[in-house]
Amino acid sequence: MSNSYSKPILPKPDTKRVVINVDGADVEVPDGTNLIEALKTIGIDTPHFCYHQDLPVAGNCRQCMIETDGPRGMGLAIACYTPVRAGMKVATDRSSEKVKIARKSVMEFLLANHPLDCPICDKAGECTLQDNYMAAGKHESRMRDDIGKQYKGSPEFRHEDSKGQERGGKHIDIGPRVVLDQERCILCDRCTRFMRDVAGSEQLYIAARGDHAFIGTFPGQPLDHEYDLNVTDICPVGALTGKHFRFQQRVWMLSKTETVAPDDSLGANITVEHHDDQAWRIMPRRNPDVNASWISNATRLQYRRLSEDRLASGSFRGTEVRLADAIERAGGLVQSARKVALVASGHLTIEDNAAILAMAGAFGSRVEVFGGSWLSVGAPDGIARSGDPVANRMGCKLLGVPDNLDDLVRRAGEFDVLVVVGHDLWAADSAKAAALEKIPERIVLASWHDATVAKSTLAVGVRAWAEVRGTMVNCQGRIQRLNAAPVAPSPDLEPVWQVISKMGRLDWSSELDAFRFAQSRIPALAGLNYRTIGSMGRILEGVAP
Amino acid sequence: MATLTVTQNFGKGAQDIGVYKSLGGYSSLSSRLFDLSQFELIDLVMRSGLRGRGGAGFPTGMKWSFVPRNSGKPVYLVVNADEGEPGTFKDHRLMLEDPHRLIEGMIICGWALGVRTAYIYVRGEFLPAIEALNAAVKQAYEAGLLGKNIAGTSFCMDIYVHRGAGAYICGEETALINSLEGFKGQPRLKPPFPAVSGAFASPTCVNNVETLMALPWILENGPEAYAKMGTPKSPGTKVFSVSGDVKRPGVYEAPLGTPLMEILEGKDYCQGVVGTLKGVIPGGSSSPALTAEEAKQANLDYEALAGLKTMLGSGAVVAFNTTRSVVGMLASLTRFYAHESCGQCTPCREGTGYADRILKTVVSGHGRDGDLEQILDLAANFTSSTICPLGAADSAPIINFIGKFRSEFDAVVAKNPDRGEPRLSKNFRPGAFWE
């Protein structure tokens, strides 16, 4: 496939614009881009299955048909593979009956052999086949029992149903995370292209040919890759579904909150999808400059932790106390302490760390701020992870949080109160952390019942990453916004900055106060606000490493 | 007997290089070829008017002129010997009888395009032809006609015989190239065309066996002599594979423009039709058939057949008489195309099988009113929206057979007493879903 295979050319802000004629009207579109993208810029959505912005063009679904002028006059062509050139004529389904028929017939062909099991299909509601049927099909079925469907499936999974019809492969366990339904597959080739060209590990393939073709894994080999769940996102139908989300929720029940991955310093853009105060899944959110359309399985499964083992109240010397009491007690301890070690965290937002610095400033030399992480840093995988588990490491650096956890270990004896915020120090390196047990009062602000909470004398529950609004700076020097999803296990939980502000009597009323404080410390943040940061983030001037 | 340009060595034992040489073979190499510059040679082929014999009839010289020079990449020559069209068997015979002529043609083409490596992609089932080719290539190497510094020039060319794995679609040039590269044989999106980016992403010339085998004669006798044969727009001779209800089926070479009935009834050719002629498929299974009346007016050249809304294709003439069921013929053709659809793009993948299944119910006596209309509608819908012409190759016979022999199809449907029944599923029970 050495040459049938090129990435689509997407419009960029600086792409030259040319005039083309669409449905009889002259319009300006970005030159040289794939027509499907150019039409999008003028508000025309073209139904499609196989085309994906971040995958090489395959051009096999034939749904995005348009008419364009060639050497032999107007003729059908696929919008995803036709480049824009100045002066070209394009007819979409709005003006061309031929295009309308072509699109409608592709719908009929796809549905002819597709099982209509939408009521039990997990993709229903976000299924491209359903959407495109409404957009381009709406035909009466001409299928009858005696003609029969050619269901897709590998020989070992073919079976006969109760009506005597030969069926293909259903709910096949192809790996630790993904379930395959061969019958529903429309052979758009997205998953195989993803595994080959993005994941770089060809674990899925299309076997056989004609309407007998089917998707499968290689004999005896599972689908098992750190990015394999992405195939369930790009699957336009319910052929590939993730075990973590299968039959958990109907997708139309879910509300979406745009935020940023908390487990890696690339800060993959994600959407937390929630219903009834619970997060049900995380989906990638396309950002071409950060993670494209992909997230790792580790990031995707972060949502599970949001409702697992949460520290939803306070705990004082092993007994549960109300949150408000815990916060008040923590404030009192810090106020009356001789010397406080305050550990800031790159796992938290700029706002949270700003509050930590502000409190330290308010207490003067009695409080010393420490920072850094004992977690090991890996290498970037080139897809959606930088390998650094400390998501906001860059933001902490910009704020001036020192990287000196090891100093704290050496000087533990100098302090009588330790405040650890949003860190699991004992899990990261219990040997080093053991020295901190010399400090008599250990206050921990945490979202989970982790090893550090277990070693604390006073623990205060705080909101987790998905439940707060704030900002982080990723490893590219891009400031990105987190938004709060209503999924906190207890309504009493507060964000870290708010707890700190109460402990330090900062009198801050919202994360904006924290952001203003951060702006006073970081010149690159000048003039920004949450709206101008936008959903895709912004590169900070002069920060890029 | 007309002049033969391709099949003159049939039956003479030309598989052996000595015999081939004694019949005048490889003389172009010692006489003219290496005195012609590449441009002169391409110009010569253009003047001969030779058109691709694989089916599309694209002018060969022009195809060669599209291959870029000095692109920094090697130029590949790929011989399309994946002859798979039902009714076509000329290339098999040609390679079997005269493999050295193909090699000579490849050397000529190789010189014209600066080819260093050439492949012969042979249909996997053609074992005897593959053996003949391998033996001939070996002999040509031993005679110093292939390999390094051919005939004392700086020109070097290697030929590899590559055996296909049995897919009709691999006769499509980009699918062939994918298969050659080791990928699944599925056509590529175009552009880029193979002339610019073909095998191994390099400029590639894909030519049919017969096209290349015409070159030695053209070089020896001059392009003008070749252009004098045939018709002005379709010059030269063409090899026809004639099968079906004729007295002497086989491979015949005739000048283009020869009347179809001359091929079927002429004493040099098939010597008559068996039974009463009902129709003729003039250019392989994907060309629309002609009725007996149309066949009487038809001349076998690209333009005349286009005028009758069919095509010369690969020159596979299939005659059928009145004892043959057109319904059965169409059913076996649709089964073939549904089986050979590569499965890449939607209309052909799902449509050919869908149409075939409906036709199957018609043939088995369960046809309903409206079935034929539905088949025609489906066929029209997978004609022009596909990546490659396989969809069109299936829809052409469907539309043509049902159109021209409608009464036979109607008669088959009429045998079903339930043909007027509504099209509801027999398992359909209102409200069954909620039970």
Rg (CA), chain A: 27
Which residues of chain A make contact with B169, given a CB cutoff of 8 A? 209
* Per-residue pLDDT at B426: 55
Report if residue B435 sits inside a domain: no
Model pLDDT for residues A210-231, shown as the tens digit of each residue: 999 999 999 999 999 999 999 9
Q: Can you tell me the ipTM of this complex?
A: 0.91
B66 lies in the same domain as B131 = yes
Q: In Å, how far is B148's CA from the nearest CA of chain A?
A: 29
Q: Chain B residue closest to A111 (CA)?
A: B350
Residues B97 and B199 both lie in one domain: yes
DSSP state of B188: P
How close, in Å, is residue B198 to chain A by CA atoms? Answer: 7
Q: Is residue B421 part of a domain?
A: no
Q: In chain B, what residues touch A75 (CB-CB under 8 Å)?
A: 384
**CB-nearest partner of A209 from B341, B357, B427:** B341
Residue A3: predicted pLDDT: 41
> What pLDDT does B70 receive?
86
Residues 6+ apart with CB under 8 A from A257: A271, A272, A273, A274, A466, A483, A484, A485
Tell me whether residue B250 is in a domain: yes
A34, A60, A120, A143, best to mutate vs chain B, most B CBs in 10 Å: A60
Question: Do B357 and A60 count as a contact with CB atoms less than 8 A apart?
Answer: no
In this structure, are B84 and B218 located in the same domain?
yes
- Work out the minimum CA distance from B199 to partner chain A, whole angstroms: 8
pLDDT lower than 70: segments of chain B: 1, 422-435
Q: Which residues contact A270 (CB under 8 A, 6 or more apart)?
A: A258, A259, A260, A261, A282, A283, A284, A285, A295, A299, A300
pLDDT on residue A156? 92
Tens of pLDDT along A162-215?
A: 878 889 999 999 999 999 999 999 999 999 999 999 999 999 999 999 999 999
User: Considering chain A, what percentage of its residues have pLDDT values greater than 90?
Assistant: 92
> Would an 8 Å CB–CB cutoff place B373 in contact with chain A?
no
Q: What is the pLDDT of residue B419?
A: 85
CATH of the domain at B148: 3.40.50.11540
A106 contacts in chain B (CB < 8 Å): 346-347, 385
Taking all residues of chain B, what is their mean pLDDT, rounded to a whole number?
93
Range A449-471 average pLDDT? 96
Instruction: Kindly list the distances between the CA atom of residue A341 and the CA atoms of A336, A363, A436, in Å, as whole numbers in the listed order.
Output: 13, 12, 10
User: CB–CB of A109 and B382 under 8 A?
Assistant: yes
Whether B174 maps to a domain, the answer reads: yes
User: Residue B257: which of B280, B281, B237 has the closest Cα?
Assistant: B237
**Residue B429 buriedness (CB in 10 A; 0-12 / 13-18 / 19+):** exposed
Contact A59 B347 (CB under 8 A): no
Per-residue model confidence as pLDDT tens digits over A310-348: 999 999 998 999 999 999 999 999 999 999 999 999 999
Residue A366 has pLDDT above 80, yes or no: yes
Q: Which domain holds residue B241?
A: 232-320
Chain B 401-430, residues with CB within 8 Å of chain A CB atoms: 423-427
Query: Residue B29 has what pLDDT?
Result: 85
Which of A81, A145, A163 lies at the smallest CB-CB distance from B189? A81
Question: Do residue B277 and residue B365 come from a single domain?
Answer: no
Distance of alpha carbon A203 from alpha carbon A22, whole angstroms: 41
- Architecture of the domain delimited by A118-247: 2-Layer Sandwich (3.30)
- What is the least distance, in Å, from the CA of A46 to any CA of chain B? 16
Query: Based on the domain organization, do B402 and B309 belong to the same domain?
Result: no
The verdict on residue B3 lying in a domain is: no
Domain boundary among B320, B346, B376: B320
Question: What is the distance in angstroms between the CA of the first residue and the CA of the last residue of chain A?
Answer: 38
What is the CA A71 to chain-centroid distance, rounded?
45
Q: Which residue of A has its CA nearest to B390?
A: A210
pTM above 0.80, yes or no: yes
Phi, psi of A79 (to 5 degrees): -65, -25
Is the CB of B385 inside 8 Å of chain A's CB atoms?
A: yes
* CATH code, B239: 3.10.20.600
Our CA dihedral for A396, A398, A401, A403, rounded to 10 degrees, sits at 80
List all residues of chain B from 92 to 131 with a beta carbon under 8 Å from chain A.
none
B196 shares its domain with B125? yes
The shortest C-alpha distance from B167 to chain A (Å) reads 10
Residues B294 and B383 in one domain: no
CB contact under 8 A, B385 and A62: yes
Using CB atoms, which residue from A112, A119, A210 is nearest to B338? A210
What is the residue extent of each domain of chain A? 17-112, 118-247, 314-539
Residues B173 and B273 in one domain: no
- Partner-chain residue, chosen from A3, A105, A212, that has the shortest CB–CB distance to B197: A3
For B353, how many CA atoms within 13 A lie in the half-sphere containing its CB? 25
pLDDT bracket for residue A125 (50, 70, 90): very high
Q: Which CATH class is domain A314-539?
A: alpha beta
Q: Does B142 lie in the same domain as B94? A: yes
Answer with the one of B264, B294, B320 that is the final residue of a domain. Answer: B320
Longest dimension (CA), chain A: 88
pLDDT tens, residue by residue, A75-122:
999 999 999 999 999 999 999 999 999 999 999 999 999 998 999 999
User: Are B207 and B236 in the same domain?
Assistant: no
CA distance A213 to chain B (A): 6
Asked if residue B109 belongs to a domain, the reply is yes
- Tell me if residue B242 falls in helix, strand or coil: strand
**Which tokens is A515 given?**
């952001």
Is the Cβ–Cβ distance between B207 and B55 less than 8 Å?
Answer: no
Tens of pLDDT, residues B108-125:
999 999 999 999 999 999
- Contact flag B366-A60 (C-beta cutoff 8 Å): no
Identify which of A63, A101, A163 has the shortest CB distance to residue B427: A163
Residue in B346, B357, B369, B395 to test binding to A, most A beta-carbons within 10 Å: B346
B343: contact with A, CB 8 A cutoff: yes
Q: Could you read off the pLDDT of B298-307 as tens digits, one per residue?
A: 999 999 999 9
- Domain assignment present for B85: yes
Residue B264 shares a structural domain with residue B394: no
Residue A137 reports pLDDT greater than 60: yes
Q: Which residues of B touch A110 (CB under 8 A)?
A: 346, 350
Q: Scanning every residue of chain B, which has its alpha carbon at the shortest distance from the alpha carbon of A145?
A: B425
Alpha helix segments (H runs only) across A386-509: 393-399, 405-410, 425-428, 430-433, 451-454, 496-503
Check: CATH 3.40.30.10 for A17-112? no
* Whether residues B310 and B390 fall in one domain: no
Q: What SS3 class is residue A36? A: helix
For chain A, say whether B34 makes contact (Cβ under 8 Å).
Answer: no
Residues of B in contact with A119 (CB under 8 A): 433
Task: Return the pLDDT at B424.
Answer: 55
Residue B379 forms contact with A (CB below 8 Å): no
**Residue B40: CA count within 13 A, CB half-sphere:** 8
Give chain A positions within 8 Å (CB) of B346.
Answer: 60-63, 106, 109-110, 186-187
CB pairs under 8 A between A and B: 129
The single-letter code of the amino acid at B390 is: L
Give the minimum alpha-carbon distance from A111 to chain B in angstroms, rounded to a whole number. Answer: 9
Point out the domain boundary residue: B269, B292, B320. Answer: B320
**What string of DSSP letters covers B249-301?**
-EEEEEETTEEHHHHHH-TTTT--BSS-EEEEE-SSTTSPPEEHHHHHH-EES
From edge to edge, which strands make up the β-sheet containing A458-461? A319-321, A314-316, A458-461, A441-446, A417-421, A340-343, A367-370
Instruction: Using CB atoms within 10 Å of the CB of residue A458, give its burial: 0 to 12 exposed, 13 to 18 middle, 19+ buried.
Output: buried
- Work out how many domains chain B is built from and give that number: 3
